[in-house]
């Protein structure tokens, strides 16, 4: 498994991300961490080094097990602010001229951009939105919660914040 994290404040967040990841993420699996930087030379070639690729914000901390249940052809996490609402309230791009446009009445969920992943080759091909590339696994908001938001009763375990 390969995880790539991207964030400009990498040095500040890296310690907590890696230390908590070592305790909770895919324990028993081989996990490689590659960190995006502003220097293209620092980014290693990743083809054929992994079966799965997960993109995560590096300012995240793992609190509980993030295991094999998260692995799928394409996994996406429901956004904590919108998982209890209907598609009419999702903050989709509604301007038809935009390449990110999603028409009214379309879209199943609103996903967070901070944690998503899947088969390595599918991640390379993923160039459009989850609207047209439906995840084969939808993870609950427990897989990414904000430290600033109160945890509702229906969220029993916070895995990453």
Measure Cα distances from 69 to 8, 32, 37 in Å: 29, 18, 29
Tell me: is residue 6 an annotated ligand-binding position.
Answer: no
Q: Under DSSP, is residue 128 helix (H, G, I), strand (E, B) or coil?
A: coil
149 is in an annotated binding site: no
DSSP string, 46-74: -TTS-SEEEEE-TT--B-S-B-GGG-SSE
Count of Cβ atoms closer than 10 Å to residue 153 Cβ: 5
> The tokens of 25 are what?
């993420």
Known binding-site residue numbers = 57, 79
Q: Which amino acids are annotated as binding site for Mn(2+), given as ranges?
A: 57
């Amino acid at each position: 498994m390969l995880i790539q994290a991207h964030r400009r404040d990498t040095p500040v967040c890296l310690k907590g991300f890696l230390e908590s990841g070592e305790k909770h993420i895919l324990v028993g699996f081989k996990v490689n961490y590659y960190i995006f930087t502003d220097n293209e030379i620092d980014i290693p070639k990743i083809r054929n080094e992994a079966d799965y690729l997960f993109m995560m914000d590096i300012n995240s901390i793992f609190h509980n097990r993030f295991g094999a249940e998260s692995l799928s052809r394409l996994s996406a996490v429901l956004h904590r602010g919108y998982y209890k609402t209907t598609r009419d309230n999702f903050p989709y791009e509604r301007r038809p001229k935009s390449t990110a446009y999603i028409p009214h009445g379309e879209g199943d969920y609103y996903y967070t951009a901070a944690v998503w992943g899947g088969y390595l080759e599918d991640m390379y091909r993923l160039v459009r939105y989850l609207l047209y590339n439906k995840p084969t696994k939808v993870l609950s908001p427990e897989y990414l919660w904000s430290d600033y938001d109160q945890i509702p009763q229906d969220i029993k375990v916070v895995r990453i914040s």
